Each structure stands twice: as structure tokens, then as C-alpha cells.
Chains A and B, each alone.
Chain A
Amino acid sequence: QKEVEQNSGPLSVPEGAIASLNCTYSDRGSQSFFWYRQYSGKSPELIMFIYSNGDKEDGRFTAQLNKASQYVSLLIRDSQPSDSATYLCAVIRRGGSYIPTFGRGTSLIVHP
């Protein structure tokens, strides 16, 4: 089982809808969770990070963490065509380096 799992997609949503991206992880002791956005041919950029169970909101983005179920999700409200990108989930495992392990990414397409 890969340590960080994401559905590769593509996930297609209409403009203005809510896009829901999910990620599961295998190490129950993982401590930090990140969502990065990567446009085609570009480097990843951080959207949000979350440490504690529950929701964390930043503008149109909400990260949700459930450590008991070992999943983290990203909700994008009022999706825009400019949100079309690959979204990478990343996890810092306990007891090791503070260098994250990445999932394979989910491709999101927002169509007008």
C-alpha cells in the first residue's frame, strides 16, 4: 500500500461548483498534511497545510483532516477554470525527516 493515496482523476466539475479532492495515508502517526497545486509544466506551490483534526478554511479553500480515518481532503468552493491543475497531497510522517511524502496527485478540470 502506497503511503499516500489519491485518485488520479481527472475530476471534472463545472465552473462555480464545489470540487472535492481526497487523500488517504497509511502511517497513523503522521503529523502534518499539505495540499500543493501544480500547473502543467510548473513546480508545485503550497495551498494549505493542516495539523489538527477538523476543518481549516482559507478563502475558497477548506482542508479537512480526520486522523481516526486517516484521510485529508481539500474542498474548493466556487471553482474557477484557473483552478484546473493537479493537486498533490503531502504528508510528513512521524519520527523521520521533516521532508514530506507526496501522493501521485489528482487532476482537476473546471469547465466553463
Chain B
Amino acid sequence: EAQVTQNPRYLITVTGKKLTVTCSQNMNHEYMSWYRQDPGLGLRQIYYSMNVEVTDKGDVPEGYKVSRKEKRNFPLILESPSPNQTSLYFCASSPPEGSYEQYFGPGTRLTVT
């Protein structure tokens, strides 16, 4: 089944404790991206990648890191999480041609206390 998977789905952590949210897709898509979704603010792009070893900042990259060492994986790293990073996070992938439809993962709900 074609899909984007994220882990963990739910995470409660404390300020400053490094964490990684994994994202993997099995559709051989070149493009991958991370969004955060907050009430009243919609989906905001954090980072995106157009291919292996090619990443770029989105609209809200502060406090986040990403890497793209393999085509299928695009982890999101919070080196020192803070409470303002409490949010719902979505990973997405899309093909480099056609409709550019975004295929979203199920989401990761992160709470930083």
C-alpha cells in the first residue's frame, strides 16, 4: 500500500530533550516536506527536500533540523524542544511531475512541557 508513515504518533516530552520524528514514504517520491499545524494558523511549512541531500527552509524553520540521506526517509529533528513547538506535525511527499499532489502522513502530536 502506498503510504507515508510517521513515528511516533504521539509524544510528550520536556523542554530541551532532543527528539526525532521519523517520516518514511514508499512511493519513490522525490519531494518531501514537513508542516506544523496550529489552531488558527493552518499548515505552515517547516522544511522541504527536493531530492537526496537537497533540503531547504520553509516558512518556520527555527528550532528544527532535517536530513535527507535516503530518498524514502526525511526525519525531523528538534535539538532542544521548547513549549512553543507543541503542535501537530505532518510529513508529506509528492512526485516531481504531474499534479504535485501532497501525500500526507497520519500526523504526530507533540507536546513539550
Interface residues of A (CB under 8 A from B): 8, 32, 34, 36, 41-46, 49, 88, 90, 92, 97-105
Contact = CB atoms under 8 A, between A and B. Distances in A.
Interface of B: 31, 33, 35, 40-45, 48, 50, 56, 58-59, 90, 94, 96, 99-102, 104-107
B104 A104 contact: no
9 contacts: A8-B40, A32-B99, A42-B106, A44-B102, A46-B99, A99-B31, A99-B102, A100-B102, A102-B43
Given A88-B42, A99-B94, A49 B99 contact: yes
Contact of A104 (B40, B48, B58, B90): B40
Contacts of B101: 34, 46, 49
Q: Considering residues A41, A90, A92, A100, which has the most beta carbons from chain B within 10 angstroms of its beta carbon?
A: A100
A105 B42 contact: yes
Contact of B43 (A42, A49, A88): A88
B45 A99 contact: yes
A97 B56 contact: yes
Given A43-B90, A43-B105, A98 B43 contact: no
Given A98-B96, A99-B33, A104-B40, A46 B102 contact: yes
